[in-house]
Amino acid sequence: AQKVTQAQTEISVVEKEDVTLDCVYETRDTTYYLFWYKQPPSGELVFLIRRNSFDEQNEISGRYSWNFQKSTSSFNFTITASQVVDSAVYFCALSGSGNTGKLIFGQGTTLQVKP
Amino acid sequence: DAMVIQNPRYQVTQFGKPVTLSCSQTLNHNVMYWYQQKSSQAPKLLFHYYDKDFNNEADTPDNFQSRRPNTSFCFLDIRSPGLGDAAMYLCATSRGHMNTEAFFGQGTRLTVV
């Protein structure tokens, strides 16, 4: 069975603080992909990053960074110097067996960045 | 430029009255998905089309059907909406491989009265 757990339901920070969103996954597949999506109040899911199971290099994109650790089945997301526009629901997702791109989502973390 | 377009953004329907939600894409992707997202929950896949091949999730109620008349369009039909079907319905597309990201539309928020 595949499962994604985002233990943090809601996080509130003050602008310019750094914040880390946790994601833990379960899968029996040896090849799989992990994703982060952002869902602003408008509703659409915005793709942030994709990482495959064979690439454990950390990635940085501007104020965003991701830490993938297979040993702990975690794929955490850090926002540095948070801004009010970062306020949204963030979903971690897993795509594994089969070739259809089906996403298994975590429950999401609501991030509120206060000015 | 919107690439996955869902219409309408908001839909109100009566209990038991059939309703159809639509999705179109300009990406020419092979796969189109319908996800249901209830309030404060994660999106849950209902079904998807890989080209013309329809794939239903095991726990998707029979009340939900889908049509894909061509590559660009996909429809979600709810035959007899119940109060429990009120949700955001998200359409997504992908090229078809599990290593490619899915592109989502803005969703249709369905209210059942």
Q: DSSP for B26-95? A: SS--SEEEEEEE-TTS--EEEEEEETTEEEE-TT--TTEEEE-SSSSEEEEEESS--GGG-EEEEEEEE-
- Pairing relationship of beta strands A104-105 and B4-7 according to DSSP bridges: unpaired
CB < 8 Å to B34, chain A: none
| Cβ A67 vs Cβ A60: under 8 Å | no
pLDDT at A31: 87
pLDDT at B100 over 80: no
Chain A interface, best mutation among B44, B99, B108, by max A CB count within 10 A: B99
Averaged pLDDT of chain A: 92
Over residues B36-71, the pLDDT tens digits come to: 999 989 999 999 999 999 999 999 999 999 999 999
Q: Verify whether the Cβ–Cβ distance A101 to B109 is below 8 Å.
A: no
Using a pLDDT cut of 70, give the percent of chain B over it: 96
Residue B86 has pLDDT above 90, yes or no: yes
* Measured distance CA(B53)–CA(A2) in Å, rounded: 24
Let me know: does A94 contact A6? Beta carbons within 8 Å: no
Q: Which residues fall within 8 angstroms of residue A115, CB to CB, at 6 or more apart?
A: A14, A15, A84
Contacts B55 to A, Cβ<8 Å? 100
Q: Which two tokens stand for residue B90?
A: 């998200």
pLDDT beyond 80 at B2: no
One-letter amino acid at B5 equals I
Which residue from B82, B85, B46, B20 is spatially nearest to A103, judged by alpha carbons?
A: B46
